[in-house]
Chains A and B, each alone.
Chain A
């Protein structure tokens, strides 16, 4: 394998990881602050993608579509927090899983009811269509570079928000002691709605960004949700830093595993068997990674016990 191909695959892994981070950041915040398992996070990703496709179809502007995805997903998140999730904080995790699973079904069928069963069209803007040539002669799609840039920017913004703002202090305080910050006069229910809407907006943004290079269809969020859970378990539940590191690890492992493993087995097996064994092992690789991390750090890389 040539170095150029390897660098290109590393970029692909980064881009995948950054996208996973946008999903996992919201999930880990919601779990860390409120102790809630939100299976409906994938539905918010779908809401973002559908809102972007609808707005892009009506106005033709990709920037407006991205803004719409943020607003729609944040609004959907705030509404479900106020109507459903709020009642679940004191219940055990099984009730939360049951209720948020019901939300998945409601969102999926509701979206089908509004938009129909056929995938929607959402394309990348002409300006970013096609590849750019990077130093060293690597051709890489401009749009994927944009995803990497946006993801890193959002990660930087989130760190600043958590570390330096008043809301960030309240979020961190909420994570360590819920009752105490309520007693100190912070409006905890408003804070919860805000965190939930923020997480939802990030998921919606990821949905819109990815929808433009994949297909915008009902049920698109659930496969990503599973990976996002793997990410937050690896990174340590509740930690934004853990989510970033975990997401990049999972993205790189998944991409490079899929590329390198079949080639590795090809050196001593016949090609068709090598492809079969290599690709099966590649799909297991991130779970093996998760098991390995948990073996040495049971609370995840940056998790607190």
Chain B
């Protein structure tokens, strides 16, 4: 009897000490909620793969990552966030792709004292008055790529654009961003349904509108449908858009319909820097495909966290926050700093869709905006 309880006690002690050993000795626990199934899974998978690649290159013992699939549904993302904060007890959260999901999760997470590093969604509501000291965006504010497209439209001499985007927070940010920079007239402005797959009615309106150019923001499968139908419609106005409809994951599905289209991005695989070359090579070697801009954002998010870990302990929130804000890591897009609202201050480029051998991809043709600060930074104060 005594012997048994002795063993039990020893066992319990061992368990307890194992628990202590696991207690984040130099390790940071990251909770990643991203879209891994259903439509739009390609985006989440790229963010995850880019993030895990950086974690692996830094050595597997530094980051402990818990990955969950939000299925692109806000209610599921909220449940997962509660689970990660309350039972997994993560230090940092990241991963969300869609702005409507980010709006459901981020304010609650930062209010409970968790860091949130956004690798994609950058809704305007979180960049201005709703900014938070624990919220960092390592990708862009939603308007930014569209502002770059508007600036490009001015350079290209377009004076009568037809613009369309889906009716959700990022879609509204997109048209706002384009109109902020674009100086010409609007031939038409349409909000489509989120997830819409048939654009025949919109294309007919474009044809009848007398526009000289088309700007659209339709991420994922929506963009594939639009471009294929546009190419078949016989309307031959020049098209410009943000990089989301021309990323590496979907270009192969669009095919020839995308060739020659100009799109704007903060990153491309041909950006000339050692960090980028190393990333592109390592990504191809690890996963056997070319990285997309989502993968580059996931990779930068992980490297940002790793750079802050070198300087501060995540338990010391103020010091860790200062270390994150310093952003002393080799970003794959070259120069990278945070503005006062902890969103990127960075350069944006115009890319063109080309064909390399059998593979459709992008090349940079010019710069669009340099050291660009988002429009909401001034409204943010902590």
Interface residues of A (CB under 8 A from B): 1-2, 4-5, 8-9, 12, 15-16, 108-109, 112, 117-121, 123-124, 129-131, 139, 141-144, 210, 212-220, 223, 255, 258-259, 262, 271-272, 275-276, 279-280, 283
Contact = CB atoms under 8 A, between A and B. Distances in A.
Contacts of A2: 208
Contacts of B58: none
A1 B208 CA distance: 9
B323 interface: no
Interface string B243-262: 00000011011111000000
B39 A219 contact: yes
Contact of B197 (A15, A144, A223, A283): A223
B200 interface: yes
A141 B221 contact: no
A217 B232 contact: no
Interface in B204-226: 204-205, 207-208, 221-222, 224-225
Contact of B253 (A121, A213, A255): A121
B37 interface: yes
Given A118-B250, A212-B228, A219-B39, 16 more contacts: A5-B204, A12-B198, A16-B200, A117-B45, A121-B254, A124-B228, A124-B232, A129-B232, A213-B229, A214-B228, A215-B221, A218-B37, A219-B38, A223-B197, A258-B201, A275-B190
A144 B195 contact: no
A214 B224 contact: yes
29 contacts: A1-B208, A2-B208, A5-B207, A12-B200, A15-B200, A16-B198, A112-B37, A118-B253, A119-B42, A121-B252, A121-B254, A129-B232, A130-B234, A131-B234, A139-B233, A139-B234, A141-B200, A213-B198, A214-B198, A214-B225, A215-B250, A218-B39, A219-B37, A220-B221, A258-B201, A275-B191, A276-B191, A279-B190, A279-B193
Contacts of B250: 118-119, 215
B255 A213 contact: no
A283 B191 CA distance: 11
A213 to B, nearest CB: 5
A119 B258 CA distance: 15
B41 A255 contact: no
B208 A112 contact: no
A213 B225 contact: yes
Contacts of A210: 197
Contacts of A279: 167, 190-193
A117 B201 CA distance: 29
Contacts of A219: 37-39
Contacts of B192: 279
B379 interface: no
A20 to B, nearest CB: 11
Nearest to B232: A141
A210 B222 CA distance: 13
B232 A259 contact: no
Contacts of B167: 276, 279-280
B207 A139 contact: yes
B75 interface: no
Given A139-B207, A279-B191, A109 B37 contact: yes
Contacts of B335: none
B313 to A, nearest CB: 37
B189 interface: yes
B189 A275 contact: yes
A256 to B, nearest CB: 8
B7 to A, nearest CB: 44
A144 B37 contact: no
Contact of B232 (A213, A271, A283): A213
Contacts of B42: 117-119
A210 B221 CA distance: 13
Given A121-B253, A279-B167, A5 B197 contact: no
A60 to B, nearest CB: 13
Nearest to A133: B234
A271 B224 contact: no
B197 A216 contact: no
A119 B233 CA distance: 22
Nearest to A4: B208
A144 B200 contact: yes
Interface string B31-70: 0000011110110010000000000000000000000000
Interface string B112-141: 000000000000000000000000000000
A80 B167 CA distance: 37
B222 to A, nearest CB: 8
B225 A215 contact: yes
Contact of B189 (A108, A218, A272): A272
